[in-house]
Amino acid sequence: MSKEVVLTGLRSNDEFHLGNYLGAILPMVELQKKHAGEYQLHMFIPDLHSFTTPIDHSKLFAQTIDNLKVFVAAGLDINNPNTLIYRQSYIPAHSEMTWILNCFSYFGELSRMTEFKDKSSKSDSENISAGLFTYPVLMAADILLYDAKWIPVGDDQRQHLEFTRNLAIRMNNKFGKLFVVPEDSPKQQKFSNRTESVRIRSLRNPDKKMSKSIEDPAGTILLSDTPEAASKKVMEATTDSVGVVHYDWEKQPGITNLMQILDLLNNSAGIAKKWEGKTSYGDLKTEVASAVNDFMRGLQSKLAQIDEAKLIKKLEKDEETMSQLASAKLLKVQQAVGLRPKAIKH
């Protein structure tokens, strides 16, 4: 590829919530606006990743399309020639590359993955899928198939990125130059221009992140919620007994979470500062609720206007392109490991 590759994506197993939108979707769209002319952007839907935890399989296919619409409503320009959108499962090379890489990954290093240990500790160990254990290898295949150098990830994925780097170096040392090694985490953070990840907290339990994966309907604003229901959740958000507004994640996570949401919805890092030192939690909630109401109305209006047929046509076109690219890389690896005859040089 003539341009360096930036790769990013979000699982499609659940509908998005406000935390996904502010913490991941908007940064991806901003990434496109900033880099699409300089880099080739892969904004893919990792639908195969959805099986690592229990899901409603009857909704997965439709949810993938619905979630892609959210990206478009957020401002993703799908007509940009340097931006490619595709579903992971529609590129067979992802699965075959994963098996090959699995055989060069070590049980010990996968056992040390923090995300696996955290998720498996909360479940019945007899029912934890092997997919959750080997998920980092699939993520490595997603990256290495396209020689992606830049992979903006959150804190919970940085260990997986380092695993990908180690695996690429291991394969290159054994078989010659097969893969581009992604940049390390400090360089990735500098590239994405973010010193720390945005993590929107639950409105009812601000010590935890906003997530549909936990039973927290009152603390999570789904993008399908009515504006009125979303505003009501803000007004009922858990705060504290301090009585004075301070931006302090340790002592006042609920209040700080509301201030963060207000800043992000206004695309400003300082609008919430005016609340510092004030004593009216109710007035702060009212302003955040109003901002959330306006946001939900605007987003849902944009979602209703998206041409689904046009979106799917772009998706299928890009999947043809990506399948060719991925198959070429897979063949190179197959030749290196002895599954295919090496090309004869004339």
Active-site position among 208, 212, 232, 332: 212
212 is catalytic: yes
DSSP-assigned beta bridge partners for residue 209: 201
CA pair distance 243, 72, nearest whole angstrom: 41
Give the residue from 158, 100, 166 showing the smallest Cα distance to 134: 100
Q: Which two tokens stand for residue 257?
A: 């979470």
CA pair distance 27, 198, nearest whole angstrom: 9
CB-based burial label for 150 (10 Å; 0-12, 13-18, 19+): buried
Give the residue from 12, 11, 25 showing the smallest Cα distance to 73: 25
Q: Do 145 and 330 meet the contact criterion of CB atoms below 8 Å apart? A: yes
**Range 32-50 burial, b when 16+ CB lie within 10 A, else e:** beebbeebbbbbbbbbbbb
Active-site position among 59, 119, 232, 332: 119
CA pair distance 50, 132, nearest whole angstrom: 10
Active-site position among 209, 285, 314, 329: 209
CA pair distance 5, 35, nearest whole angstrom: 10
Contacts 24+ apart (CB under 8 A), 313-316: 314/78, 314/79, 314/85, 315/68, 315/85, 315/86, 315/87
251 is catalytic: no
314 is catalytic: no
Q: Which two tokens stand for residue 244?
A: 């004075």
Question: Sign of the C-alpha dihedral, residues 237, 243, 244, 247?
Answer: negative
Alpha helices by DSSP H, 194-307: 227-235, 253-265, 281-304
DSSP-assigned beta bridge partners for residue 40: 5
Catalytic residue numbers read 119, 209, 212
